[in-house]
């Protein structure tokens, strides 16, 4: 079991609030990704979970037991660092053995040599590093080192794994491969993972739960598709998804019992009812907008002047300017759009997101 419960957790550094009263429940077996831009407090939060940094306020419990004041070694949590922190002068085997030579924190039992060997071989087989046991870390590729680092965390069967940007030293191809391996490993182990990254693709592909952080606070918690399909704020909307969601200023008002959206050169009826008029940002993902051909219509239509066109082979991405906003449209491959063209683009209300311009929060 490895359910983590975080209540009112905060940390300041000489007046800078790095983590601000975070409440978070991470269920046993979850792959929880802490996602956010540089400086949002991800690492600080993770280090408090690991027991490497004392909170200014708040509490952490694992399986209902308060561990806030427990030293790191007594937390039954393993941390995999970005730098992997392998001992350079020890073979892979010895690196994996090292944690097992320490007395087990709860039982006080140290494994004998044969037991250690059995455990190391089991873990090495799971990670496909059995053939590397005699090598020194310097004779391994980045991806292999990464697996050894995970293996070293794994041998002690912790309740939870904490990982801080473990893939950031790998090249793009290896990152993709290791991402898949980590997901498979998580499924096989069924252990709780808490994983820090600023890379939304890593978060989308591996997480069962994404926690989006901004300035030390939680912006949204949800499954990858929750946060993609229903971003709670303009921050989440533009941080997750690439190219980013389009945001267009518009006024929301009601006319004759119909709520209406009025933009610079577009307008649409939204639903029957009344509303206190407010300034909004309406959001549309690039893949939900399309360049309209002759006779084609959208619920909302606007004209954009094309600023650039990216041909990716399987699709075309068009960047342009509407009256008062940048717009990106992503769609099927097309060869006849040129820079400087004025094109009509459309989107359907089913794919429209509405945010309050003043607060950035989503309108339910």
**Least distance from C-beta 163 to ligand ATP, angstroms?**
13
Interface residue with ligand ATP, options 9, 44, 147, 246 (CB under 6 A): 44
User: Based on the number of CB atoms within 10 Å of its own CB, is 40 exposed (0-12), middle (13-18) or buried (19 or more)?
Assistant: buried
Q: Which range, of 33-41, 67-75, 175-183, 340-348, touches ligand ATP by CB under 6 A?
A: 33-41
**Least distance from C-beta 199 to ligand ATP, angstroms?**
10
**Least distance from C-beta 239 to ligand ATP, angstroms?**
12
**Least distance from C-beta 220 to ligand ATP, angstroms?**
16
- Report the side by side order of strands in the sheet with 326-332: 289-291, 342-347, 300-311, 315-321, 326-332
* Residue 36 touches ligand ATP, criterion: CB under 6 A: yes
* Residue 283 touches ligand ATP, criterion: CB under 6 A: no
How many residues sit close enough to ligand ATP to count as binding (CB under 6 A)? 12
Q: 84-94: string of b/e by CB count within 10 Å (b at 16+)?
A: bebeeeebbbe
> 34 vs 86, which CB is nearer to ligand ATP?
34
For residue 326, what are the β-bridge partners? 321
Interface residue with ligand ATP, options 43, 95, 144, 234 (CB under 6 A): 43
Residues 22 and 48: their CA atoms lie apart, in Å, by: 12
> Which runs of E-coded beta strand occur in the chain?
4-13, 16-26, 31-35, 57-62, 65-66, 77-80, 160-164, 192-197, 209-214, 217-222, 246-255, 258-263, 267-272, 278-284, 289-291, 300-311, 315-321, 326-332, 342-347, 353-356
Interface residue with ligand ATP, options 2, 41, 241, 283 (CB under 6 A): 41
* Residue 141 touches ligand ATP, criterion: CB under 6 A: no
Applying CB under 6 A, which residues contact ligand ATP?
13, 16, 18, 36, 38-44, 198
């Amino acid at each position: 079991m490895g359910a983590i419960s975080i209540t009112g957790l905060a940390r300041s550094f000489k007046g800078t609030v790095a983590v601000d009263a975070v409440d978070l429940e991470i269920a046993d077996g979850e792959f929880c990704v802490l996602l956010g831009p540089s400086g949002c407090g991800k690492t600080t939060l993770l280090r408090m979970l690991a027991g490497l940094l004392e909170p200014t306020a708040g509490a952490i419990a694992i399986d209902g037991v308060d561990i806030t004041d427990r030293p790191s070694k007594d937390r039954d949590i393993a941390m995999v660092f970005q730098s992997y922190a392998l001992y350079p002068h020890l073979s892979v085997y010895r690196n994996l053995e090292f944690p097992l030579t320490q007395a087990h924190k709860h039982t006080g039992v140290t494994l004998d040599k044969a037991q250690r060997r059995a455990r190391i071989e089991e873990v090495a087989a799971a990670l496909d590093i059995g053939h590397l046991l005699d090598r020194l870390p310097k004779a391994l590729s980045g991806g292999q080192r990464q697996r050894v680092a995970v293996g070293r965390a794994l041998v002690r069967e912790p309740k939870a794994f904490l990982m801080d940007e473990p893939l950031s030293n790998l090249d793009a191809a290896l990152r993709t491969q290791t991402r898949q391996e980590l997901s498979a490993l998580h499924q096989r182990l069924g252990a709780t993972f808490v994983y820090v990254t600023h890379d939304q693709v890593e978060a989308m592909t591996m997480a069962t739960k994404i926690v989006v952080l901004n300035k030390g606070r939680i912006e949204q918690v949800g499954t990858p598709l929750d946060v993609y399909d229903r971003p709670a704020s303009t921050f989440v909307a533009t941080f997750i998804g690439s190219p980013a969601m389009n945001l267009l200023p518009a006024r929301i008002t009601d006319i004759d019992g119909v709520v209406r959206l009025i933009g610079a050169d577009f307008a649409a009826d939204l639903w029957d009812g009344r509303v206190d008029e407010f300034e909004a940002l309406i959001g549309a993902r690039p893949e939900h907008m399309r360049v309209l051909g002759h006779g084609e219509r959208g619920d909302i239509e606007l004209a954009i002047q094309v600023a650039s066109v990216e041909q990716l082979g399987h699709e075309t991405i068009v960047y342009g300017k509407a009256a008062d906003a940048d717009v990106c449209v992503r769609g099927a491959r097309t060869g006849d759009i040129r820079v400087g063209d004025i094109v009509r683009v459309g989107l359907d209300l089913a794919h429209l997101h509405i945010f309050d311009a003043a607060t950035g929060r989503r309108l339910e």
